[in-house]
Structure 1
Amino acid sequence: MPTRRYTQQARAQAADETRQQILEATRERLRAAPTEPLSVERVAQDAGVARSTVYLVFGSRAGLFEALGRDLLDRTGFRRIADAVALPDARDAVTQALRAAAGVYAAERDVARTIYSMWTLDPDALRGAFETVERGRAEGQERLAERLHDEGRLRAGVSVEEAADVLWIVSSFETFDQLYTGRGLDVDAVAARLAMMAQQALWA
């Protein structure tokens, strides 16, 4: 029995290592060739596995992108955003969530930029990755908007729906990258600008 258990553990570890090799090869391919369509065959070659192994592990090209999206969130500290959203004061939650989001975006900016750019060209393949990230972001901003309203922090005349729309914009990768890359600001400066936008638009 111990030998069998050891064999199962070794197989599980090997499978996880293969999965991580493929994900790392995917990230590196997106960094190295951001304007080229992602080739599963090239990813497999870079990862040192057979093309069929990629499909065995992830099911499809879309499945690979979805797993990549989840992996990026885990690697870049997405937990910090969730922790910030849970702060007791909604204003602090918004400010700290934007700061955490800026750090997440900056950690894998090149890969994120490529994925967002590819979305317009290959939406079917990217749908899973986008839903993984954007559905959670939308729900989070809606909850924060409701909390601002419930705590009496929302500016008069601004509805919960309008507040959620503002938070959606200021928390987006596109807005972050306009400041980070387009304006050349560092992460802290970007976070401060995003927080200022939210405060001036929404705070009572």
Structure 2
Amino acid sequence: MEAVATRKYEQRLRAETADETRRRVLAAVHDHLTEDPTRQLSLDKVARNAGVARSTIYGSFGSKAGLLDAFAEDLWARSGLAALTEAVAHSDVREHVRGGIVAATRMFAAEQDVYRALFSMAKLDPSSVGAAVDRMQRDRRGGTAHLAQRLADAELLRDGISIEEAAHILWILTSFESFDTLATDRGLAPDEIAALLNRTVEWALYNTSAVEPQS
């Protein structure tokens, strides 16, 4: 029994050590992106800043692409994915739209510099950073298509607006680029951006019966 207890303790200790190593590596990626956003991600620099060997990164994440995938998932979780998931599960599609835009805007605002670096670096490093961003965008593409279908099913779309066109408009309005332009170039606060984007959705997509009066 003592030997079994010792093995379990050692296994738990190894797991905790591995988790701590992963956290340090992901934190080093975060620092790299915020401090040096115009240069390709350097695994040597990440390893050095995390206090691990380069081989440890491969052992933990499999590849540079695997590391970026893990970082993107962690970024979404830390910046507010739970709130976004709750919003899109709302039974009222208009609340789905409103809550989803508010949650997405707050996610972008929480880590604006990191999201900007990721989207910029995707063009410089398409095989790793680009692949991680593509997967993030695929999720958003599926979400906007689903939302456009929900609006059509609820008979909320304006006459002449197809489901595909609605998805295109939602794609533009929910993009990081739209948020970043309004925040950086126009100086709007996150809640102001969310309110403006939600009004724009109403103006662009909803028929008159779907638009609720402003209080």
TM tier, smaller: over 0.9
Paired residue for 2:100? 97
Provide the aligned C-alpha RMSD in A: 1.0
Could you list the runs of 4 or more consecutive aligned residues of structure 1 that deviate by over 6 angstroms after TM superposition? none
Task: Check the 8 A contact 2:101/2:174 in 1, yes or no.
Answer: yes
User: Which whole-Å CA distance do the structure 1 matches of 2:82 and 2:148 have between them?
Assistant: 20
Aligned mate of 2:80, from 77, 90, 111: 77
Name the TM-score, length of structure 1 as normaliser. 0.97
Partner of 1:11: 14
Checking the alignment, whether the CA contact within 8 Å between 1:69 and 1:132 is kept in structure 2 is no
User: What is the SS of the residue equivalent to 2:188?
Assistant: coil
Shift of 1:133: 1.3
Give, in whole Å, the separation in 2 of the partners of 1:39 and 1:132. 21
Aligned length: 204
Q: 2:5 aligns with which of 2, 26, 30?
A: 2
Identity of aligned residues (%): 46
Q: Is the 8 A contact 2:87 2:103 kept in 1?
A: yes
- For 1:110, the aligned partner's letter is D
1:70–1:132: 8 Å Cα contact kept in structure 2?
A: no
TM-score relative to the length of structure 2: 0.92
The residue aligned with 2:161 is 158
Q: 1:134, 1:72 → 2: CA distance?
A: 14
For residues 136 and 119 of structure 2, the distance between their equivalents in structure 1, rounded to whole angstroms, comes to: 11
Q: Is the 8 A contact 2:121 2:130 kept in 1?
A: no
Please tell me the residue identity of whatever aligns with 1:149: A
1:24-57 C-alpha deviation (Å, 9 max, x unpaired): 0110111111112211000000000011111111
Letter in 1 for 2:201: A
Aligned to 2:52: 49
1:63 aligns with 2:66: yes
Partner of 2:200: 197
Cα contact 2:39–2:121 (8 A) shared by 1: no
In the other structure, the counterpart of 2:110 is: 107
Superposed displacement of residue 83, structure 1: 1.1
Query: How far, CA to CA, are the matches of 2:148 and 2:88 in structure 1?
Result: 11
Q: Which has the higher contact order (CA 8 A, sep 6+)?
A: 1
Where in structure 1 are there 5+ consecutive unaligned residues?
Answer: none
CA drift of 1:12 comes to: 0.6
